[in-house]
Amino acid sequence: MLTQPEAEKNSTTGLVPAVVPTAPWRVSGVKALDNYSLHVRFQDGVQGTVNMAGLIHSPQAGVFAVLTDIALFNQVGLECGVVTWPGELDLAPDAMYDAIKANGEWILR
Protein backbone atom coordinates (compact mmCIF):
# COMPACT_ATOMS: atom_id res chain seq x y z
CA MET A 1 0.00 0.00 0.00
CA LEU A 2 1.34 3.42 -0.95
CA THR A 3 1.14 6.09 1.69
CA GLN A 4 0.91 9.76 0.97
CA PRO A 5 3.26 12.01 2.92
CA GLU A 6 1.51 14.32 5.33
CA ALA A 7 1.16 17.81 3.87
CA GLU A 8 3.76 20.14 5.27
CA LYS A 9 2.33 22.77 7.57
CA ASN A 10 2.73 26.41 6.64
CA SER A 11 5.96 27.22 8.41
CA THR A 12 5.85 30.94 7.60
CA THR A 13 2.80 31.61 9.75
CA GLY A 14 3.83 33.81 12.64
CA LEU A 15 7.04 35.04 11.02
CA VAL A 16 5.53 38.32 9.89
CA PRO A 17 4.40 40.49 12.81
CA ALA A 18 0.92 41.96 12.75
CA VAL A 19 0.78 45.44 11.22
CA VAL A 20 -0.01 48.00 13.89
CA PRO A 21 -0.54 51.50 12.49
CA THR A 22 1.46 54.08 14.40
CA ALA A 23 0.62 57.35 12.62
CA PRO A 24 -0.85 59.60 15.34
CA TRP A 25 -3.38 61.09 12.90
CA ARG A 26 -5.21 57.79 12.41
CA VAL A 27 -8.75 58.20 13.74
CA SER A 28 -9.77 55.55 16.27
CA GLY A 29 -13.29 56.81 17.04
CA VAL A 30 -15.91 59.08 15.51
CA LYS A 31 -19.41 60.12 16.58
CA ALA A 32 -21.91 62.39 14.83
CA LEU A 33 -23.03 65.36 16.94
CA ASP A 34 -25.72 68.00 16.46
CA ASN A 35 -25.40 70.78 13.88
CA TYR A 36 -23.24 68.83 11.40
CA SER A 37 -20.38 68.31 13.80
CA LEU A 38 -18.32 65.25 14.71
CA HIS A 39 -16.42 64.21 17.78
CA VAL A 40 -13.21 62.41 16.78
CA ARG A 41 -10.55 60.58 18.76
CA PHE A 42 -7.12 59.80 17.34
CA GLN A 43 -4.89 56.84 17.96
CA ASP A 44 -2.60 58.83 20.27
CA GLY A 45 -5.48 60.07 22.46
CA VAL A 46 -5.92 63.53 20.93
CA GLN A 47 -9.61 64.29 20.52
CA GLY A 48 -11.83 67.17 19.51
CA THR A 49 -14.59 68.44 17.27
CA VAL A 50 -14.96 68.78 13.51
CA ASN A 51 -17.52 71.45 12.59
CA MET A 52 -18.75 70.88 9.03
CA ALA A 53 -21.89 73.06 9.02
CA GLY A 54 -20.23 75.97 7.20
CA LEU A 55 -18.86 73.73 4.46
CA ILE A 56 -21.95 71.58 3.97
CA HIS A 57 -24.23 74.61 3.56
CA SER A 58 -21.85 76.67 1.41
CA PRO A 59 -21.90 77.05 -2.38
CA GLN A 60 -18.41 75.49 -2.33
CA ALA A 61 -19.66 72.28 -0.65
CA GLY A 62 -19.04 70.22 -3.77
CA VAL A 63 -19.37 66.50 -3.04
CA PHE A 64 -20.09 67.25 0.63
CA ALA A 65 -23.42 68.94 -0.26
CA VAL A 66 -25.14 65.53 -0.02
CA LEU A 67 -24.39 65.57 3.71
CA THR A 68 -27.12 68.17 4.24
CA ASP A 69 -29.25 65.03 4.52
CA ILE A 70 -28.79 64.53 8.27
CA ALA A 71 -29.59 60.82 7.99
CA LEU A 72 -26.64 60.44 5.61
CA PHE A 73 -24.40 62.66 7.76
CA ASN A 74 -25.17 60.43 10.75
CA GLN A 75 -23.90 57.38 8.82
CA VAL A 76 -20.34 58.55 9.49
CA GLY A 77 -17.88 55.74 10.09
CA LEU A 78 -14.23 54.76 9.99
CA GLU A 79 -12.28 52.98 7.31
CA CYS A 80 -8.59 52.34 7.87
CA GLY A 81 -8.35 55.24 10.34
CA VAL A 82 -10.17 57.70 8.06
CA VAL A 83 -13.58 59.34 8.68
CA THR A 84 -15.90 58.24 5.86
CA TRP A 85 -19.49 58.30 4.61
CA PRO A 86 -21.30 56.18 2.04
CA GLY A 87 -20.54 57.33 -1.50
CA GLU A 88 -16.78 57.37 -1.01
CA LEU A 89 -16.73 60.63 0.95
CA ASP A 90 -13.91 61.09 3.43
CA LEU A 91 -11.97 63.70 5.36
CA ALA A 92 -8.20 64.17 5.41
CA PRO A 93 -7.16 62.76 8.79
CA ASP A 94 -3.76 64.48 8.85
CA ALA A 95 -5.22 67.98 8.37
CA MET A 96 -7.95 67.19 10.90
CA TYR A 97 -5.35 66.02 13.42
CA ASP A 98 -3.18 69.12 13.03
CA ALA A 99 -6.13 71.51 13.54
CA ILE A 100 -7.58 69.61 16.51
CA LYS A 101 -4.21 69.20 18.20
CA ALA A 102 -3.61 72.96 17.89
CA ASN A 103 -7.15 74.27 18.57
CA GLY A 104 -9.34 71.41 19.81
CA GLU A 105 -11.56 71.96 16.77
CA TRP A 106 -11.41 71.80 12.98
CA ILE A 107 -13.84 74.19 11.31
CA LEU A 108 -14.54 73.48 7.64
CA ARG A 109 -15.97 76.29 5.52
In a domain, residue 67? The reply is: yes
The CATH number of whichever domain residue 57 belongs to comes to: 3.30.2020
pTM for this model (two decimals): 0.79
Domain count, the chain: 1
- Cβ within 8 Å of residue 108, ≥6 positions away: 50, 51, 52, 54, 55
Give the Cβ contact number of residue 57 at 10 Å: 14
Q: Kindly tell me if the per-residue pLDDT of 10 is higher than 60.
A: no
Mean pLDDT estimate for the chain: 89
In a domain, residue 10? The reply is: no
In a domain, residue 6? The reply is: no
Q: How confident is the model at residue 24 (pLDDT cuts 50, 70, 90)?
A: confident
Q: Kindly tell me if the per-residue pLDDT of 9 is higher than 60.
A: no
In a domain, residue 47? The reply is: yes
- Cβ within 8 Å of residue 51, ≥6 positions away: 35, 36, 37, 105, 106, 107, 108
CB 109 within 8 A of CB 53: no
What's the domain range around 55?
27-107
In a domain, residue 2? The reply is: no
Using one digit for the tens of pLDDT, what is the confidence trace for 80-96? 999 999 999 999 999 99
